[in-house]
Amino acid sequence: MAINTTTITKNIGYADIYVDCVVPADRTPMALAPGGLPVGGRYIGATQGEALFRYTPTIEGVEIEQVTGMVAPHMVSEEVEITFTMMELDYQNMLLAIGQGSGTTAGGVNLVTFGGNRNVPNRCVCLVAKSANEDTYDVATIYQAINTAGVQRSYQRGQARGIAVTFRAVQVHTRSVGDRAAQLIEDAVPAAA
């Protein structure tokens, strides 16, 4: 069998991160506007390094005396997350990424504050990666996500200061079983301009 380098080549490149996208209908692909923008999405700014979509199921089985391996495997939990390091740290992008902070602008200063009991905002998060050799996109979407990484910034001479962000899925029980947390689309075609 011959190697298909076209398939390999299309998967080279970065991903853009969007928040507050319009959640697609149950078992329906995320809609993309021209240019690969998820409908309603707000661009979160430049990122550095790997942007990662991860789905992790935890499978357990039952042990019985008659065999040495597990039987009756079943899922006991699942986790979906999108992680990235945000570099474009203007005031509004920080608030979009952090979620739990609040902010004000006064006297030429942009202030983000933390602490106290606050509602944890759920938001739709999309990772969108354009194919390198065709006008299609890979799209990873979490329907309702919360930032579980908080804020961590390092300060080092000669190094850019980014914020590591982890958005983790919250189950949406009004959706069908098997479509309650996230979706992953390969080769999505955006709407015509």
135 in a structural domain: yes
Residue 49: CA atoms inside 13 Å, Cβ hemisphere, count? Answer: 12
Predicted confidence band of residue 150 (pLDDT cuts 50, 70, 90): confident
83 in a structural domain: yes
193 in a structural domain: no
1 in a structural domain: no
25: domain range?
A: 7-188
User: How many structural domains compose the chain?
Assistant: 1
87 in a structural domain: yes
Residue 138: predicted pLDDT: 93
The per-residue pLDDT for range 12-67, each reduced to its tens digit, is 888 999 999 999 999 999 999 988 899 998 898 888 889 999 999 999 999 999 99
Residue 118: predicted pLDDT: 67
CATH number of residue 107's parent domain: 2.30.110
77 in a structural domain: yes
